[in-house]
A and B are shown apart, each in its own frame.
Chain A
Amino acid sequence: MENIGALAILLAFCFAIYSVIGSLAGKWGNRPFLVLSAERAVYCIWALLTTAAGILIYSLIHGDFRLAYVWEHSNHAMPDIYKFASWWGGQEGSLLFWSWLLASYSSVVVWKNRRKFRDMMPYVTAILMATQTFFLILIAFVAKPFNVWQEGRLIVDLRDGNGLNPLLQYWTMVIHPPMLYLGYVGFVVPFAFAIASLITKQPGDSWIHTTRRWTLVTWMFQTTGILLGAGWAYAVLGWGGYWGWDPVENASLLPWITATAFLHSVMMQEKKGMMKVWNIVLVSTTFFLCIFGTFLTRSGVVNSVHAFAQSSIGTYFVTFLAIGIAATVYLILSRLDYLKSEAQLESVLSRESSFLFNNLILLASCFAVLWGTLFPVISEAVTGEKISVDGPFFNRVEIPIAMFLLLLTGVGPLIAWRKSSFESLQKAFMIPLGIGVAVAIGLAFSGVRSIYALMSFMLCTFVLATVAIEFVKGASAIRQKSGSNLLIAMVELTHRNTRRYGGYLVHVGVVIMFIGFTGKAFDKDTTVEVAPGTTIQLGNYALRTGNVVQTQNENYTSISLPVSVSKNGEELGTLMPEHRLYLASKQPTSEVAIRRRINEDLYLNFAGMSADNQRAVLQAYVFPLVSWIWTGYWVVLIGTLICLTPSRTRLIYPRTEVVGFAGKNVKVDQ
């Protein structure tokens, strides 16, 4: 079986090379049949990789421990869902997963555009398949998923495997990597279209229109993936953080930042024909950062707690990145004439300018994260000493950036295109700014002292107020016409221009998340060794520990500590933080118990028994506002989905006119 899998990968590799050559040769030699066959090769690659992946999954689930990959990442005792998740639990499998996703995306692209963009498509296919070739080189020759254990010439069948890393045996870890990968891989498509339109010197912005939905969908996947990762860290790692500025986390954030910048700056190109070079640069940067992120996670180039094993794979990535970036830069430079801007910036106080600064700030933040992440590498190259920077560095730079970004989020959507005046700005922002300042003053009087927290709450309120005013204004106009109530009018309003009002909703979601992040300023914690029956105090909470309970199943043994919680004398029930020892890997994990509430989370971690085995080590935390982060995510998701649904602006107005025409209702509302 493993031979068929390995063969399928090799064949897919050959097909990918053929597809690149075929589509280019067909285009240049004007032979449509070659182009067509190259496109069909894309479907074949998908079928081959699906076969290979199917075999790997089958081996994982049925425990074929002759395979090194299966032995390392699966075992009998694991639930099936985690056996399946082992597909992307290790280096080789996750590369196969990458490749398979790319094949799936490519097939969709080729199928959807089989009759469109005939002059551009051969290049799109070639770029997609060149990337595919790169990943297939890795899984066919470097990190092979179908290696078997051998002793001399004999294949060894081991009885049970090592199991998936216990920390990864958690539900979000089943969907976090696929989401992130869907986001990473998805950016190949807009990139391929952008480059193809450069090569063919397309007039206009057709590549932006065709890839707008792709970009938004992949952005949504990236966002989901990053937040699932944060949610996993919070609930599993036992230190109560959701973000630690670890290189691997940063790797996922970098392309997300540039993608966000891209989503904003395409509006400038669509509406004003500006920033054309910039958009190509952004989409290329995002694509290369996606590849770079994969590289950073895999190569062990920077120390990280959750990096995969060190391997020789890095050189391949560096080569691919170098070739890709050089080719892209050359192309952009040679096509500058086709990318001339159609309008010019007229005023510092304008919508254009707010987009410009939005992009500047996002790029600066991306650069700061990249710089901080690579600082050990850079400092070693320059000074010979390996120096790293930590969380405080990132917080110091990123918090002011975030504040400025929040400000722009409030200002940007309301400011006029081309030119605005101080007077009109005053009129538009007096009320929301007033509300924001009032909230900040109120909080300051109620004891909030952190200056950043106050600023953040002020700006969050400001943005929420501006968005609320926009919705109410638009909805009142509709209500006056149709007489429906305000809520229905708001739905109607959103439906008329989904991109605009969906976008506002995404902003609201981001603001809610920022309120959650700001809660970090008010954390409380304590660590104690407690004998059964002791009561400890944390803020308003009283925690009384009970006797340790032991349980066992075939995957792990566990001890749990019942803690009855009361707040200001009121009983709130019992939490059961748990400490597990996984049998196959002999690795302990903590299953924290969290009482999630909208104002604050009570977070209990049972860190094991004390040295004399008599007392339990309990870590208790209060994390204010953390739930807002996850709530904000859902709002972002809904907002993005609204952006993706088509507007129905055109449908509404004719209908009202028809009513007037029929003569039944003479009073036509203006």
Chain B
Amino acid sequence: MKNYLKFGLLIVAIVGALAWLAVGGISETKTYYKTIAEVHQMGNATDKKIRVGGDIAPNSIVREGREVRFVLAQDNLKLPVIYSGIDPLPDTFKDGAQALADGKLGSDGVFRASKIQAKCASKYEAKPTGVGAKPAA
């Protein structure tokens, strides 16, 4: 029985340590998913890390040194974004692409992004143009 107690204690110690690490890790890195509408409602700047998604408004991308400014759009709502992260922007980052920006909302209403993910929206959803074709069996 003494053996099983030893095993039990060791296992509890290991699992406990990992759980502690995990809980700390979650509270440190958690990011809230928000739509542009929700970001506008938040009004003032908060310390919450936010991930906001939308389409990159055409012709809005401006590069200045290491900084990149652009506008995220969803329906009629717009959100100006400044990206000044270390990682290079992905190749898929271009006008009209879907993008996810991670960062915090500044007090001037401009979103400061530290990470951008983008996916080429047209790739899987585009239909051939010119014909009113649709796939059928």
Contact = CB atoms under 8 A, between A and B. Distances in A.
A150 B136 contact: yes
B135 A238 contact: no
B15 interface: yes
Given A146-B137, A239-B87, 20 more contacts: A151-B134, A156-B133, A237-B90, A305-B117, A305-B119, A345-B7, A360-B15, A361-B14, A364-B14, A368-B18, A376-B33, A387-B32, A388-B33, A393-B28, A397-B18, A397-B25, A404-B14, A587-B120, A587-B123, A611-B63
Interface string B93-123: 0100000101000000000000001111011
Contact of B91 (A303, A346, A587): A587
Contact of A585 (B10, B123, B128): B123
A368 B22 contact: yes
A388 B30 contact: yes
Nearest to A525: B86
12 contacts: A71-B128, A162-B123, A165-B123, A239-B90, A356-B7, A357-B10, A360-B11, A375-B30, A389-B29, A392-B25, A585-B120, A586-B122
Interface string B1-35: 00110110011001101100110111011111100
Contacts of A397: 18, 21-22, 25
Nearest to B126: A162
Interface in A355-392: 356-357, 360-361, 364, 368, 371, 375-376, 385-392
A348 B14 contact: no
Nearest to B53: A303
A396 to B, nearest CB: 4
Interface of A: 6, 68, 71-72, 90, 144, 146-151, 156, 158, 162, 165, 167, 237-239, 303, 305-306, 308-309, 345-348, 353, 356-357, 360-361, 364, 368, 371, 375-376, 385-394, 396-397, 400-401, 404, 525, 527, 529, 585-590, 605, 607, 610-611, 617, 619
B15 A587 contact: no
Contacts of A393: 22, 25-26, 28-29
Contacts of B26: 375, 389, 393
Contacts of A529: 65
Given A6-B137, A587-B120, A587-B123, A611 B92 contact: no
A585 B32 CA distance: 33
Nearest to A162: B126
B34 to A, nearest CB: 9
A151 B131 contact: yes
Contact of A238 (B30, B90, B119, B137): B90
Given A150-B136, A151-B132, A360-B11, A388 B63 contact: no
B128 A158 contact: yes
Nearest to A609: B63
Given A387-B33, A619-B88, A309 B124 contact: yes
A274 B91 CA distance: 52
A151 B130 CA distance: 11
Contacts of B7: 345, 348, 353, 356
B89 interface: yes
A67 to B, nearest CB: 9
Given A527-B88, A607-B89, A387 B31 contact: yes
Question: Across chains A and B, which 10 residue pairs bring their CB atoms closest together, nearest first?
Answer: A386-B33, A68-B135, A396-B25, A393-B25, A309-B124, A147-B135, A149-B133, A150-B136, A392-B29, A156-B133
B29 A400 contact: no
A306 B51 CA distance: 17
A170 to B, nearest CB: 13
Contact of A389 (B6, B25, B133): B25
B126 to A, nearest CB: 7
Contacts of B137: 6, 144, 146-148
Contacts of B126: 162
Contacts of B51: 388
Contacts of A368: 18, 22
Given A150-B136, A156-B133, A396 B66 contact: no
B66 A527 contact: yes
Contacts of B4: 345
B131 A348 contact: no
Nearest to B119: A305
Contacts of A586: 122
Nearest to B92: A587
B77 interface: no
